[in-house]
């Protein structure tokens, strides 16, 4: 077996890690349209209860529909947003899914038509978190940020009502829910059209990296990828 000399190391230096490492990206479909549609649907369903379009006795079946329809779709959208490397949207969608789950379970297990201090505390605690996500989304996706802002405002109205405020706040929350449903329908449709055409069809007000992701080439998409979570050593 031939010997190994130290001067061979100098003549054949080890290649830098960047020349040996290959990072494989798996394309996934955008989950934002699903998140928009699930959020809007849940809002409209809750509106029917707040505006007394359905009897209070139907509270539990209604919340069960939200629990089995909107919550899984919202959480699924959040998971795929993580896989698509969009941490802002992923956090927002996951939080919204859990807020709907917590609200639905609280109303299912409590007396129908009775106010819940627990639900009030939960929604008023979740609202600042959603507002923080709204601020973070303004840099790239202001349309999504507006959805979060309206949603946070609605949760505040419901929370204050559940804490004992006049019933007019419940009615106001219901009409905000109607507006939220219409806005979510527009946003989901605009995102679907954009994803299919690979260009903006209906205005979405994308900015910064969110806009460059549609207009720039592949090199821009993978720029600085070594610094992203899942590639770098620390989160």
In three-state form (DSSP H/G/I as H, E/B as E, the rest C), the secondary structure along 126-159 is HHHHHHHHHHHHCCCCHHHHHHHHHHHHHHHHHH
Q: What is the pLDDT of residues 111-159, one digit of tens each?
A: 888 899 999 999 999 999 999 999 988 887 888 999 999 999 999 999 9
Residue 9 binned pLDDT confidence (cut-offs 50, 70, 90)? very low
| Spatial separation of the C-alpha atoms in residues 210 and 193, rounded to whole Å | 16
For 37-64, what is each residue's pLDDT tens digit? 999 999 999 999 999 999 999 999 999 9
CATH class of the domain at 32-222: mainly alpha
The number of helix segments (H) and strand segments (E) in the chain equals: 10, 0
Indicate whether 16 pLDDT > 50: yes
Domain spans in the chain, listed from the N-terminal domain onward: 32-222
What's the number of CA atoms in the CB half-sphere (13 Å) around residue 112?
A: 12
208 HSE (CA, 13 A, CB side): 8
Q: What pLDDT, on a 0 to 100 scale, did the predictor assign at position 199?
A: 73
Mean pLDDT of 168-189: 94
The better pLDDT of the pair 34, 222 is held by 34
Tell me what percent of the chain is helix, strand and coil, each rounded to the nearest 5.
70, 0, 30
If one compares 25 and 34, the residue with the highest pLDDT of the two is 34
What whole-number percentage of the chain has pLDDT above 90?
57
CA dihedral 37, 40, 45, 48 (to 10 degrees): -140
Report the Cα 153 to chain-centroid distance in Å. Answer: 16
């Amino acid at each position: 077996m031939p010997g190994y000399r130290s001067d061979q190391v100098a003549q054949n230096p080890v290649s830098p890690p960047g020349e040996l490492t290959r990072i494989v990206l798996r394309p996934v479909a955008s989950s934002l349209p699903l998140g928009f549609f699930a959020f809007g649907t849940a809002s409209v369903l809750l509106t029917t209860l707040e505006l007394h379009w359905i009897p209070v006795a139907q509270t539990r079946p209604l919340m069960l529909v939200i629990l089995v329809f909107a919550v899984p779709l919202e959480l699924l959208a959040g998971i795929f947003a993580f896989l698509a490397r969009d941490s802002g949207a992923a956090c927002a969608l996951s939080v919204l899914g859990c807020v709907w789950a917590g609200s639905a379970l609280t109303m299912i297990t409590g007396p129908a038509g009775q106010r819940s201090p627990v639900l009030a505390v939960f929604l008023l605690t979740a609202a600042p978190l959603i507002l923080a996500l709204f601020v973070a989304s303004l840099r790239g996706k202001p349309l999504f940020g507006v959805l979060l802002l309206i949603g946070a405002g609605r949760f505040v109205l419901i929370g204050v009502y559940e804490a004992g405020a006049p019933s007019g706040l419940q009615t106001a929350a219901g009409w905000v829910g109607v507006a939220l449903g219409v806005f979510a329908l527009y946003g989901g449709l605009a995102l679907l059209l954009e994803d299919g055409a690979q260009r903006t069809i209906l205005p979405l007000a994308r900015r910064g990296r969110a806009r460059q992701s549609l207009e720039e080439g592949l090199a821009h998409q993978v720029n600085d990828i070594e610094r992203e979570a899942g590639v770098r050593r620390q989160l």
